[in-house]
Structure 1
Amino acid sequence: MFVDKVKISIRAGNGGNGAVSFHREKYVAAGGPDGGDGGKGGDVVFVMDEGMSTLVDFRYKRKYVAENGENGGARNCSGKGATNLVIKVPKGTLVKDVESGRILADISTKEPVIVARGGKGGAGNQHFATATRQIPRFAKPGKQGEEYEVTLELKLLADVGLVGFPNVGKSTLISVVSAAKPVIANYHFTTLTPVLGVVKIGEGKSFVMADIPGLIEGASEGIGLGHDFLRHVERCRLLLHVVDVSGIEGRNPIEDFEAINNELVSFSEELSTRPQLVVANKCDMATEEQITEFKQYIEQKGYQFFEISAATTQGTHDLVQKVYAELQKLPPIKYFEPQPFTEQEIAERESKFNSFEVKVENGIYYVEAPFLESVLMTANMEDYESLQYFQRVLRSSGIIDKLEEMGINEGDIVNIYDFEFDYIR
């Protein structure tokens, strides 16, 4: 099954929590705090796999979560950093953020790309000892890892793309000029998936050709197969527009040529300006009048015109030689530049995680704030300094202000994940 677009969710690992610990050793008095730092959470890394040609595996697994970093330990031992989660995808896969639509990565080289970064480990209590606070009984929790819902979109990496109506001979052409073996039959939509073939010109000279499944009028609006596969033409440096000049199926080659170009314009203005060579196929079954009429029309439009018969290989050698020469004049295959989030946008995403909700039930103020769960785990509420640290978190996060805005009075009960305390101004 050929799958070229899927939606998945990825989440990097959380950082480990810092430890609250004190040095305990015989004959050593007042050893002091020695809580280690938490380990870094694992990143989510995308890498190219040459052996993959489809995204079908992602149809059955949609959620990818990296490991969390280990918590810190005693004796200043830092927690172990988590292993990165490596996700293998086919060459030419774009990773897009669903919410913003921006491109996070273009997996077109062997260079691994970090898409979601793991959270930093929390600091152990050894870092909070001062001259006036010698016994800190709290530590910092690890930070949350980045989380995204992303779309994986495969855009084939090919130098040349074959476009044209179904059954015009594109599959036959790629089969005679390369080692590709597409299914060939005398009916529309024989080719159901894009086919790649390497065309060798000589020693060290070659290019990649893609046979794109047949387009029809209305393809850019989702009619037929063309809409699903037009994206695979976007990277092509050169288009070969194959037309059945014989009209054997009762079609007009000029009308077909214009219809396909209109679909390219509708799909992408940029794509419609891509260099294009027009290939009149099935010349062995066409009359001289048919060929001449079509040639004159095409050349008046400013396109280069080639006569071939893919079935008999007539003209195919000269065609691929010309294609290779044209490619030498063109820039490399298109690479989609990533659009990373700015610091402000990252801060906004983090603020969503730091959001909270306060509800009042039977006179008790219930606070729901996911980020406080890890803080509660690393704070000792029986210790005055630790309690002060927790109070600073409540104040800086805006929870205290919200409680006061809702009319909380001194002595009212506040419940945060089953930890209850009386509110004191």
Structure 2
Amino acid sequence: MGPIFTDAVVALLPHLARCPEGVLDETLAFLLALPTDPRAFAVAHSVRFLPDRLRGTAAAAALDDATAMPEASGFRGGSRTQVLQTVGPHLAGHPTVAERALTLAAALTGHRQRTVAVVALLPSLQTATPLLERALDVLLTLPAAAPNGEVLRGWALVQAVPYLSGHPHLLARAGDRGAGDGPAVALHLNIATAPTPAPAHLLSAVLALPHPQQRVVLLNDLQPRLDPAHRRTAATALEVAAAALTGAPRWQALRTLARCGVDSADRAALLFRECAAVTHIDERPSLFEAVMDGLHPRLAPHMTGLALNTALATDDNNARRRMLQRLSPQLTTDHWHPLLRALATAHRGERLGDLEAAGPIVATLDPDLPVRLTEEILRIRRWWP
């Protein structure tokens, strides 16, 4: 039973909530009867979609399979850590299974694997104070930084803050340890517990950090809490930081800059140029979406043409279609001809999907056009399978 079949099963899981109870029972029985390799992946992904009466059974079965897996694996769903990350957030109300998952997570020998597995469990432990305290103990004993430079403990403590907020003694323990890990980690924790709008001294402290990547990471968390004036200050600092960075940290700086708000044509043009220069097939549409979301409404109509050109110039099919789908609500009949020229000069197999991604514009041209295009696509398929 190959990955394509397993993918098909997993794709149907979000629709389980609409099924009668008998069908849900049959579905879980079917998943549990799968061969070992796809079973762990499929059962783990089913947990979040199953009703509470079946969730504990599915989660326990997923953990059974996880014990025989390696801690880490390059294969999707093929490691104990991945199963724990998938199942962990959905175990509230199942304390026995949650305790078992925490025991498995705490026993992982890889620092990063142990960190992400325990953090994934936190939503399920929020009301189970003894288990939450055990999870915090695991996080507090992590090394401050891993050999590859990841600030594991600081990141984990920041992720834990929302779940510790109802437990002052646990939050105080996290704060004490974070303060000892350096100013960046202490700032992370202060930002996570700051009011909105955040006090100005937090922004000043972030901007005083020496490393541009640290400033970017913290500004990403801080900017939603800033008032408009301080958000503009943060945006200027992010432009400076982006200029000093390369690769993924630079793209993160640009995304955070877009989230601060794109309220000038010059900044919008800069961000679309940067988007066109991004080489990573997932990062380009991610930055594109952030820019589109951050565009000021008065600018959006004037930037749609530039945004369309950026999307159409993207070679990767999936990335281009994701960008077109985000842009399609802004497309008007004025954009049909540039879109049509791009469609006409490209390989049919690539651009049929582009036409579907930009579908809303087709219906605005002529209510009958989508039907005619569908008929033409079906006619083509008869001689071009």
Q: TM-score, structure 1 length as denominator? A: 0.20
Structure number with greater Rg is 1
Which structure is higher in helix share?
2
Q: TM-score, structure 2 length as denominator? A: 0.21
Which structure is higher in strand share?
1
**Larger relative contact order, structure 1 or 2 (CA cutoff 8 Å, min sep 6):** 1
